Chain A
Amino acid sequence: MATKKVKGTRKQNPDEIIDTLERKLKKRDREVKSIKQDLKEKEDRLLRSYADFQNYQKRAGKELQINKMELKKKYLTELIDVKELLTSAYEDNNPKKGLKLIINDLDGFLEREQIKYIDCIGKTFDHNIHHAVNIIEKNDCEDETIVEEVKKGYLLNDTLLRPSQVIVAKRNENR
């Protein structure tokens, strides 16, 4: 405390004061300049990452299109093969054997693609994999038993590709 008082009361030369202030000011200026520079760089980096992101989005979009096309090509080629074979079968006077082979081929393809047929007749209706298109009144079986398959349903890798379209038995409770 005492020393401070001595310092504070010491008379300073005006030139000295100006000098100190100028030094301080210059230091501030340098700081401001550096901060401004820093800010500018950061802004530029921010804008560049925005631009990078947008360019990435464009590229990803393009790649998605290409992938879609590739996938389409794969399935269309398979489909064309089947079409050619069916045309041959059509020209065949006794096409049964040929058709059977074509169906076997297709079954093989579907199996490779992990497509599984949903077995439904006689099973209890399950809204997760079946789509009821109609009901029929029936008392000789459990309620909600599937009695008819209108359109076959399939699973793809254990997720639903398309539900079986079915007709479901309903018991008449009044009887």
Chain B
Amino acid sequence: MGKIIGIDLGTTNSEVAVMEAGKPTIIKSAEGQPYFPSIVAITKDGEILVGESAKRQAVTNTEGTVHRIKRKMGSGEKVTLRGKEYTPEQISAFILQKIKRDAEEFLGETVTDAVITVPAYFNDNQRQSTKDAGDIAGLNVKRVINEPTAAALAYSLDKEGDHRMAVYDFGGGTFDITLMEIGDGVFEVLSTNGDTKLGGTDMDQALVDYMASEFKKEYDMDLREDPKSLQRLFEAAEDAKKELSSKLQTDINLPYITVVDKEPKHLEMKITRAKFEELISTLVDKTSGPCKQALKDAKLKPADITHVVLVGGTTRMPIVRKKVEELFGKKPKRNVDPMECVAIGAAIQAGVLSGDIDKDIVLLDVTPLTLSIETLGGVATELITRNTTVPTKKSKIFSTAADSQPSVDINVLQGERPMAADNKSLGRFHLDGILPAPRGIPQIEVTFDIDVNGIINVSAKDQGTGKEQSIRITGSTKLSDADIEKMKRDAKEHEEEDKKRKEKVEIRNNGDALVHTTQKTLEDLKDKLSSEDKESIEKGLKELREALSGDDMDKIKEKTDALSSTIQKVSTAIYQQAAAAQQAAQQQQATSGGDGGQPSGDDKTIDAEYKVKDKKKKTDKKKD
């Protein structure tokens, strides 16, 4: 069965969502917006436009454009577009068709089924009409649910036992209040009320009027009369409104807003949240009446309401939230996007109907803390990061830290701190029988395997000999939430000093490793180095050794860098020599046509190979 989509078929805008991998996802329109303007138009060429494009041409095509068709649903009233009559169901079907098409594009599969939301006050006729619109659009409407019910589902309020709730829906153009009772997952509407001519756009208008009147006071010119200026005022008002939801003050700067007496004028204004709230308070107050009436109709007191849910973009404003709190005496819930929560709730209902929820979802645990092993210098080297879903398996190759090291010690750690000693040791074991080899050569594969029950299997395998050791750690992941929180907190608190300590160890490890490789290089290249080069490398080596015997990190770092640049210089010269020799040999070969014996290019190949090995060793050592 295909996916069932959830549609919030709104008066001004519609939103769509779908359950994906157990989570509701908002579907974007083909134009890339998370909503679809509920506008339909027939152009003079007979083309049907829906959404953004219909909105863009609305003023030039008043006789062919229809807005707010939702208000006519179930009324039997027809609309005439360019001389042709359409039922509200047909118009809504155009919107639903566009939604279906874009959802299919988004999901990459055919969509045949939908859950559609309607206002709680819709009567049977209006509900049937909505269902019919779905039918016309080719959507099988699995269920029509109330918008406030969908909002409650988005907040998982159906899982909170029996209670009464208020859904305060303040959108762009309308206000609705619904009181509901929830018991055993069944929603019952107790009362509903609202104002069909009250919304966020009125607030934009109030701000535009204020800005224009202030400007007029100064320059005696009404910006609202110039469509260019008016458009900019509206955009600025909308931005300011949004900004004032999180900030206490905003600057409105509209340079070159108009020309007065051939001189360009700018609009500059500071608007405080207090000023804005003063401008819109009467609008916000207008929601009190319907709320009080709804309480009265349901024979309830504010104290009888246990939860208040906010729907609609306008509820993002602090003044609105304050009003709601004042009306119902409790803080409204606000962890779901108020613009999206109805569509999300519809998608959740759709998920329940299609069996996407409850049945197919496998709830898997995550590792609460990072799992690592201790490596050279007491560093915790991470294998499985925190929040990884289990079962999972991860391997890393490690090596030895000393020449001819016969065994490695695997210390399994849990925690977020970069140094081993600060984390919890879950267990340790030895892997011995490693064949004598220079440091960094043996390849020990360490594997962490966590099964679905959180049991950790750690194994270490010497890839040279095939020898393997392992440990099984049970129960140790069953840390209490408080322990986990404490460990995370500790990591956060010690972040800075831990970073420094780890850096110290790394500097030292790098220095150690360089001493080791330098010794090897000196040994391997003894025939190729000039005595001068040899001397300078040995000098650098001596200085680095001295630095390493002390505790001055800056000095170690400085000496490490110095020695490594010396070596690089020397080795570059050697390569260049080798390349020149090879080129000469090739030229000789080409001119003489004979076989030049052992080409010197071979030497170069060996050198290069060695270099690669060397580099790898260095990184391995760092890990160990």
Contact = CB atoms under 8 A, between A and B. Distances in A.
Interface in A98-146: 125, 127-128, 130-135, 144
B57 A55 contact: no
Contacts of B364: 47, 50-51, 54
A58 B53 contact: no
Contacts of B387: 58
Contact of A44 (B43, B58, B227, B451): B451
Contact of B56 (A53, A54, A127, A148): A127
A131 B451 CA distance: 58
B390 interface: yes
Contacts of A125: 57, 60
A57 B231 contact: no
B154 interface: no
A52 interface: yes
A25 interface: no
Interface string A38-54: 00000010011011111
B60 A168 contact: yes
A135 B59 contact: yes
B601 interface: no
A54 B227 CA distance: 52
B46 to A, nearest CB: 14
B388 interface: yes
A128 B227 CA distance: 21
A54 B58 CA distance: 45
A48 B392 contact: yes
Contacts of B391: 44, 47-48, 51
A132 B390 contact: no
Contact of B59 (A51, A54, A58, A133): A133
B396 interface: no
A8 B282 CA distance: 101
Q: Which of B31, B43, B60, B392 has the most CB of A within 10 A?
A: B60
A51 B362 CA distance: 9
A53 B231 CA distance: 47
Contact of B231 (A44, A55, A144, A150): A150
A52 B392 contact: yes
Contacts of A150: 227-228, 231
Nearest to B227: A134
Interface in A21-68: 44, 47-48, 50-55, 57-58
A135 to B, nearest CB: 6
Contacts of B227: 133-134, 148, 150, 167
Contacts of B59: 132-135, 168
A47 B56 contact: no
Contact of B53 (A52, A128, A134, A135): A128
Interface in A58-105: 58
Contact of A130 (B56, B231, B232): B56
A48 B451 CA distance: 9
A97 to B, nearest CB: 20
Interface in A130-175: 130-135, 144, 148, 150-151, 160, 163, 165, 167-168, 170
Contacts of A160: 31
Interface string B347-385: 000000000000000101000000000000000000000
Contacts of B392: 48, 51-52, 55
B493 to A, nearest CB: 24
B214 to A, nearest CB: 22
Contacts of B517: none
Contacts of A131: 55-56
B293 interface: no
A160 B43 CA distance: 20
B58 A132 contact: yes
Q: Which of B49, B231, B232 has the most CB of A within 10 A?
A: B231
Contact of B389 (A44, A54, A167, A168): A54
Contacts of A57: 21
A58 B364 CA distance: 14
B452 interface: yes
Contacts of A132: 56-60
Contact of A133 (B21, B231, B451): B231
B60 A163 contact: no
A64 to B, nearest CB: 14
B452 A127 contact: no
Contact of A55 (B21, B58, B362, B389): B389
Interface string B231-250: 11000000000000000000
Nearest to A150: B228
Contacts of A51: 364, 389-392
B49 A127 contact: yes
Contacts of B57: 125, 127, 130, 132
Q: Which of A44, A50, A127, A170 has the most CB of B within 10 A?
A: A127
Nearest 4 CB-CB pairs, A to B?
A127-B57, A54-B389, A131-B56, A51-B389
12 contacts: A47-B452, A50-B362, A52-B392, A54-B389, A55-B388, A58-B389, A125-B60, A127-B43, A127-B54, A128-B53, A132-B60, A150-B228
Interface of A: 44, 47-48, 50-55, 57-58, 125, 127-128, 130-135, 144, 148, 150-151, 160, 163, 165, 167-168, 170
